[in-house]
Structure 1
């Protein structure tokens, strides 16, 4: 699937860690993340229906290949092919399994493992410098370079993000940044952005 970029504006909170954890909880409750393969039960069923006609011939070809293997490899090879066919067909029939979503962020992250959730849920904390699985502050010098100010507003940050000006900072896999968003000279929001998932 590849990594996915994500971004969020949330109300300002002086405690960035609390704001991040609140955002993560909100994203989890909304279900605004990719779970399993990202397919809906309908899409998964349609995919299986497309490949179903090829499964029988594929298993037969595996049996032919296995005929040249010594025992017990032959039996293992055939069993693996048949098991793969059964599992694939079962996953297409059992849509309830794909609907059973995790009950906590931690459970979700365990299930997704290296695939990630393609969301801020993959960021487990803050770090003063860019680090795997963490959100770090956008460098102050870069604020001035990009926005001619240390106090950018919502529209300026949104424009920089959408135009790709922040790409270098938000496209590092499994990392994210935050920027304090100002309104009339005072902190008003936090902007979180990053890239995760595989």
Structure 2
């Protein structure tokens, strides 16, 4: 993404672009969710065979059935909270100074120096690192952004990380 001083605005723009392209993981609809509750209950083994398991299955079904149908970027993650979208869309909490769940944060200056040998890496350096080593940098659901430079000037913002199950 081309550089702009407002990293959060760039992140939100990228999230919207990824959504519009459909470049994300989408869970398949479980046909059981189309059943009426009585029909679903009837499809299970009788409750008296294992009441705790029966109740847990029904509870899970009711919870999944109550999730919103994804109609836009804002409710897509809520519609599949356990799987995520396996994309930048999962970074619903925006930008943070330090690594945190569902956010993107910058590499520290020490980490930039260690990784790239400079505080002003080129786009090629960042893209190579992101394609090979970013998975080792942070936990799942914690994103990274790095600003790359061209002739000493900020040129691009690179977002990366791993989300989803």
Query: In 1, distance between residues paired with 2:144 and 2:131?
Result: 15
Partner of 1:48: none
Q: Distance in 1 between matches of 2:19 and 2:135?
A: 25
Between structures 1 and 2, the one with greater strand share: 1
The superposition leaves residues 1-37 of structure 1 with CA deviations (integer Å, 9 ceiling, x where unpaired) of xxxxxxxxx1111100100000000001111110114
Residue number in structure 2 paired with 1:108:
76
Counterpart Cα distance in 1 of 2:72 and 2:85: 13
Equivalent pair of 2:141/2:162 in contact (CA under 8 Å): yes
Give the TM-score normalised by the residue count of structure 1. Answer: 0.62
1:73 maps onto 2:40 in alignment: no
Rounded to whole Å, the distance in 2 between the matches of 1:161 and 1:128 is 19
Structure with greater helix percent: 1
Runs of at least 5 residues in structure 1 that lack an aligned partner in the other structure: 1-9, 45-58, 67-71, 81-100
SS of residue matched to 1:21: helix
Q: Secondary structure at the match of 1:136?
A: strand
| Correspondence for 2:109 | 140
Q: Which runs of 5+ in 2 are unaligned?
A: 31-42, 55-68
TM-score (norm 2): 0.74
CA distance in structure 1 between the partners assigned to 2:75 and 2:147 by the alignment: 30
Out of 127, 137, 140, the residue aligned to residue 169 of structure 1 is 137
* Matching residue within 4, 24, 34 for 1:33: 24
The two structures, once aligned, show a CA RMSD in angstroms of 2.8
Structure number with higher relative contact order (C-alpha < 8 Å, ≥ 6 residues apart): 1
The residue correspondences of 1:32-51 to structure 2 (distance < 5 A) are 32-37=23-28
Higher Cα radius of gyration: 1
